[in-house]
Structure 1
Amino acid sequence: MRRVRYEVNGGPEVLFAEEAPVPEPGPGELLVRSEAVGVTLPVVRRMREGAEPGPLGGEVAGTVVAVGENVTGFAVGDRVTGLCFSHGYAELALIHQAMASRIPDRATAVDAVALVRSGLVARGAYQAGRPRPDDAVLVTAAASAVGTLALQYAKAAEASRVVAAVSSADKAEFVRALGADEVVLYGDESWGDPVDVVIDGVGGELLGPAVRALAAGGRLVAFSSGGGTIDAYELLARGASAIGFQMAAIARGKPEVYARWLDELWELHRNGTLRPRVFAEIPLAEAAHAHEIIESRRNLGKVVLMPQG
């Protein structure tokens, strides 16, 4: 089978395609013939910053072709999506059953990788901010896969004002079409009137202006892998709070909540409330190009690799 891996860290130029043996599913694992693989910023960052080369994991969607021992609830022929923590950039990938979910008949594999992980993170991060219907909400990385869905969640929840923070002015029309009432740029001196909740998917140096955008008693929810430091005085001056959100903690620690959120997510997709955006569908062998798009912040929505293309 074909897969993509890298030998040394440092940039997208080290990605290359190779032939590899078909993996054997272990206990609790599903072997999936991949039809779509979602490219995520955390994976791109790990490749860039990691001390050691390693497998490129990711969001995988496709059809189960084999199951390991002790698998329950899934069978050969099921269409599933889930996170692969080994070699996800591949024609065949392993997903543990705890991280897998079925794809509804009406949805495609591309729908699944554009919606499921990004939608669950967007929903969970938004909820972690304890929003009220009349709150003003600001979303950073608003043109990203998670950000586009977080904007739509905020509008559906009847936020009084939804502000999209983006890296460049050429993204303004795109995020306004998704429901943003206002658009600000990362480099703007001010992000306008204060907001009650900031959903931050960037981290790093952007944490400073994100905290300063908060109203009294506001909440910053950080879900980014970008790190960064928050000035405690800035929180104190506003009586504000910072909250970290990690989707894996819900998936592993609260499976019943995870399952309920997943059902709600697909229903919101079915009724048109959530409309994931796909920026590009790229052949697997061109994964380096997909990473370059993410790193340069050019994507408007999800970047998807197509293993069978």
Structure 2
Amino acid sequence: MRRVRYESAGGPLFVEEAAVPVAGPGELLVRCAAVGVTLPVVRKVAEAAEPVPLGGEIAGTVVAVGEGVSRFRAGDRVTGLCFGHGYADHALLHEAMASPVPAGASFVDAVALVRSGLVALGALHAAGPVRGEAVLVTAAASGVGQLAVRLARTRGARRVVGAVSDPAKADFVRSLGADDCVRYGDERWGEPYDCVLDAVGGDLLAPALAALASHGRLVAYSSGGGTIQAYDLLVGAKSVIGFQMALIARGRPALYERWRRELWRLFSDGTLRPAVHGEFALEDAAKAHEAITTRSNLGKVVLRP
């Protein structure tokens, strides 16, 4: 089979031939039809001291199952988070991380919706009720951000605004249902917000916190780090809430599954439709990563093995 690999931090991505893996206990062997490209994986390629497997969201058809698997069998259509080599023709998916892809949904729909949607839905859950509130979403044109904008609207937010790096993305963000779009470098981001969902971190944390109204909540779910001053929290009685999807998947599987069902329900009734920036061959994985690093993507970036 083919898979994408690299040999040094920031090194070029290349396709190599490798043996098809064997499903171990609790694992599914999946023939990959779509692979979601995520910012954390892109950052690992650039920053990790040693090369790591390029994992992430995959969707495809189950080819074989390992010992102890009870919910799936060969021929099933599934999606889920792969922790090993996912940029490949075949990948291993643990049963606990897998969910069925319903009829009427494509594999591209699945990788664009499920993992990104779980993060967006989880961030809104961490923020608490947003009905009647003003919500700001950073990285609003990203795979997660676009769904966070839509989901904030479905949850009754009074006003939803997207923040982006490039003003050229404004029309796209408004097409998602946002009332307005602001740029990171703008001096002001509009009216104070009850809630900010931040997927960027780093230097953007301070202005995101400043954009909050008194008693507002900042939900931080970025892998970009960043620092804020405690005094800035005290002045407006503001809160910062950290959110990580992996903790929910491992520690609260019932909630994780409930969120997955909610996403597919919203998809099936037409309420939630993820936007896809582009579909790339495995040989073009570097171009897919470039779309993320240059922040040029409008929606989800997908590999098609």
Above 0.5 in TM-score? yes
1:179 is matched with 177
2:18 is matched with 20
Identity of aligned residues (%): 66
CA deviation profile, 1:137-171 (whole Å, cap 9, x unmatched)? 00000000100000001111121111100001100
Matched, 1:118 2:116: yes
Given that 1:131 and 1:197 are in contact with CA atoms closer than 8 Å, whether structure 2 keeps it comes out as no
The AA in structure 2 aligned to 1:4 is V
Distance 1:274 1:241 in 2: 29
The AA in structure 2 aligned to 1:253 is G
Match of 1:302 among 281, 284, 300: 300
Distance 2:178 2:129 in 1: 17
1:133 is matched with 131
2:79 is matched with 81
Match of 2:65 among 46, 64, 67: 67
Match of 2:233 among 220, 232, 235: 235
CA deviation profile, 1:88-129 (whole Å, cap 9, x unmatched)? 000000000011000001111000000000001000101111
1:258 is matched with 256
1:192 is matched with 190
1:157 is matched with 155
1:169 is matched with 167
Cα offset, 1:291, TM superposition:
0.3
State which drifts further: 244-253 or 200-209.
244-253
The AA in structure 1 aligned to 2:5 is R
SS at the partner of 2:190? Answer: coil
SS at the partner of 2:187? Answer: coil
TM-score relative to the length of structure 1:
0.97
**Stretches of 4+ moved more than 4 A in 1?**
none
The AA in structure 1 aligned to 2:53 is P
The AA in structure 2 aligned to 1:73 is R
Q: How many residues align?
A: 305
Match of 2:287 among 286, 289, 299: 289
Given that 2:44 and 2:52 are in contact with CA atoms closer than 8 Å, whether structure 1 keeps it comes out as no
Given that 1:29 and 1:71 are in contact with CA atoms closer than 8 Å, whether structure 2 keeps it comes out as yes
SS at the partner of 1:198? Answer: strand
Cα offset, 1:132, TM superposition:
3.2
1:211 is matched with 209
The AA in structure 2 aligned to 1:200 is D
Distance 2:275 2:215 in 1: 33
Matched, 1:104 2:102: yes
2:8 is matched with 8
Given that 1:165 and 1:184 are in contact with CA atoms closer than 8 Å, whether structure 2 keeps it comes out as yes
1:225 is matched with 223
Cα offset, 1:131, TM superposition:
2.6
The AA in structure 2 aligned to 1:305 is L
SS at the partner of 1:274? Answer: coil
Cα offset, 1:273, TM superposition:
1.3
SS at the partner of 1:115? Answer: helix
Distance 1:6 1:239 in 2: 46
SS at the partner of 1:104? Answer: coil
Structure 2 gap ranges (5+): none
Cα offset, 1:133, TM superposition:
1.0
SS at the partner of 1:303? Answer: strand
Distance 2:235 2:55 in 1: 41
Structure 1 gap ranges (5+): none
Distance 1:199 1:287 in 2: 28
Given that 2:280 and 2:303 are in contact with CA atoms closer than 8 Å, whether structure 1 keeps it comes out as yes
Distance 1:10 1:65 in 2: 33
2:269 is matched with 271
Distance 1:231 1:26 in 2: 47
